[in-house]
């Protein structure tokens, strides 16, 4: 398998994980919007922290994918 093919597969795998993380983030935001009136403060704070962490993970993964795409240009 050539280096180009390996890099393409790596980008595809990272995109899969990016999709999973985005769906997780959307679910956490949906839970917060649907339950903020009845949930305890601890759950709300935990959800906001989780949203922040997952959103930061999306940003980091996005930057990594961009870096790998730039590596594709070099080949």
- Encode pLDDT of 1-44 as tens digits: 789 999 999 999 999 999 999 999 999 999 999 999 999 999 99
Q: What are the start-end ranges of the H helices in 1-75?
A: 3-35, 41-74
Please report which confidence band the pLDDT of residue 50 belongs to, taking 50, 70 and 90 as the band edges.
very high
Distance CA 73, CA 55 (A): 28
Q: What pLDDT shows up at residue 45? A: 98
Q: What pLDDT shows up at residue 63? A: 98
Mean pLDDT of 45-51: 98
Q: What pLDDT shows up at residue 6? A: 92
Collect all residues with Cβ–Cβ distance below 8 Å to 25 and sequence separation of at least 6: 51, 54, 55, 58
pTM (global) more than 0.85: yes
């Amino acid at each position: 398998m050539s280096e180009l093919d390996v890099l393409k597969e790596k980008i595809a795998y990272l995109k899969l994980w990016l999709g999973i993380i985005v769906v997780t983030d959307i679910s956490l935001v949906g839970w917060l919007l649907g339950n903020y009136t009845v949930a305890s403060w601890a759950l709300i704070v935990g959800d906001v922290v989780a949203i922040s962490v997952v959103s930061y993970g999306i940003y980091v993964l996005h930057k990594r994918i961009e870096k790998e795409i730039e590596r594709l240009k070099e080949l």
